[in-house]
Amino acid sequence: MKVLVGLGNPGAKYAGTRHNVGFDVIDYLAAGPTCSAFRERFEAMVAELKEGAETILLVKPLTFMNLSGRAVRAVLDFYKLPLDQVLVVCDDFNLPLAKLRARAKGSHGGQNGLRNIQEQLGSDAYARLRIGVGQPGVGEAVDFVLSRFKPGERTAAEEAVASAAQGALLWAREGIEACMNRVNGTTAEDGGNTKKKTQKPKGEKAGPKDEPST
C-alpha cells in the first residue's frame, strides 16, 4: 500500500483556500471510478484508490494543518509501513503560482504541516510534493494562505492540482525519482516539461501552534 496525504484545514470555512490545495489533490483523485468512499479513521478522512496493481490510501487529516503529523503517524503505525511509502502534498507560498516541486526528503521549509509530520515521524525522510500558490506581501503570510484564489488565478490553480495528482500517481507507480523528473520546476502550463531548478525556496515563519493557518 502507498499512502498519499493531502494537507489542508477541514471545514467549509477553509474549502478552496490556497492552504487547502493538498486536500484538492486528494479530492481530484477520489472523484475517479476506482476510488472508494471516504470514511473517518486515524483522525482523517481516508479512501482507497486502485491504480493498476497498487492500492493508494488517500488521506485528508482532520486535525488542522499544524497537527497533520498525528494522522500520518497513525496510518503508518497501523499498516506498519516504511516512510518511503508515503507522499505528502501541500501548498508552498515560496513557489510561484502553479509551480510544482517534488523532493524525496528534506526540511519542512517552515510549512507547519510538514513541520508537525517531521516531529511526529522523527525524520524528514519522506517524500513531499509542493504546489506553488503565489507569494504574499511582507507580513501577510497567514491571511494570504487562508485566502481564496483570485478569478485570474483559478485556472492555473486548477491545472496545478490536476498536474500534481498525475505526479502523485506516477510516484505510486514508479517512485519519487520519476515524479521528480516529471514535475520539478514546472508549472501546469508547461505540460510537465522539466526545467532546471534555479533557486532553493525560502522558509516561512511558524504561526502559533493552535492556529489552523500555516
Residue-wise pLDDT for 33-89, tens only, equals 999 999 999 999 999 999 888 899 999 999 999 999 999 999 999 999 999 999 999
The per-residue DSSP string of the chain comes to -EEEEE----STTTTTBGGGHHHHHHHHHHTSTTBPPPEEETTEEEEEEEETTEEEEEEEESS-GGGTHHHHHHHHHHHT--GGGEEEEEEETTS-TTEEEEESS---TT-HHHHHHHHHHT---SEEEEEE---PPTT-HHHHHTSBPPTTTHHHHHHHHHHHHHHHHHHHHH-HHHHHHHHTTEEGGGTT-------PPPP-PPPPTT-S--
Tell me, yes or no, if 19 is annotated catalytic: yes
**197 pLDDT higher than 70:** no
Residue-wise pLDDT for 142-161, tens only, equals 899 999 999 999 999 999 99
Task: Say which residue, 205 or 149, is predicted with more confidence.
Answer: 149
The CATH homologous superfamily for domain 2-190 is Peptidyl-tRNA hydrolase (3.40.50.1470)
Q: What pLDDT score does 212 carry?
A: 45
Residue-wise pLDDT for 121-146, tens only, equals 999 999 999 999 998 887 788 899 99
Q: What pLDDT score does 200 carry?
A: 38
Which residue's entry shows cell 467549509? 12
186 within 8 A of 147, measured Cβ to Cβ: no
The residue annotated as part of the active site, out of 18, 19, 70, 73, is 19
Q: What pLDDT score does 54 carry?
A: 87
Residue-wise pLDDT for 160-191, tens only, equals 999 999 999 999 999 999 999 999 966 655 54
Domain assignments of the chain as residue spans, ordered by start: 2-190
